[in-house]
Amino acid sequence: MGVYYDSMQLTVYYQDQSIGGSPLSNPFYQEPKKTAVFAGTLGGAALTVTGQRWQQFMADKARGEVVFRLEVASTIRFKISTWDSKRHKMHANCPVGVGPDGLILPSYKDRRCPVYFS
């Protein structure tokens, strides 16, 4: 079964507040039994945090771990042989812990993320 992805959107949350987002990819088709890998950097003026959240962020950073939630959203269609499904809105939510060096902590790497459809 192949999957058609419309453009993908990445949103970053800190304590359930959206603090930034960015387009992740252009539309593409994923062949059956293949894996797609994405890499990129999110930063700059698009990130926004309120005063109270900033204090909590700094406290988490001082403890050595800041946990974000990344949401990847896209509209997808499935392709089986010559049949294409209707479009479905897909969401994947991934907790990501970042250490004081700005890198993802080992305990958060290679995890499966919950996926749901709306």
> Nearest-CA neighbor of 66 among 55, 74, 76, 79?
55
Total-model pTM: 0.79
Structure confidence by residue, pLDDT tens digits, 32-46: 898 888 777 766 555
**Beta strand 88-98 pairing with 28-30:** unpaired
User: What percent of the chain has pLDDT above 70?
Assistant: 94
Question: How high is the pLDDT of residue 18?
Answer: 86
User: What percent of the chain has pLDDT above 90?
Assistant: 39
Strands (E), 31-87: 66-80, 83-84
Count the domains in the chain: 1
Residue at 103: amino acid letter: L
**Residue ranges making up the domain that contains 35:** 2-117
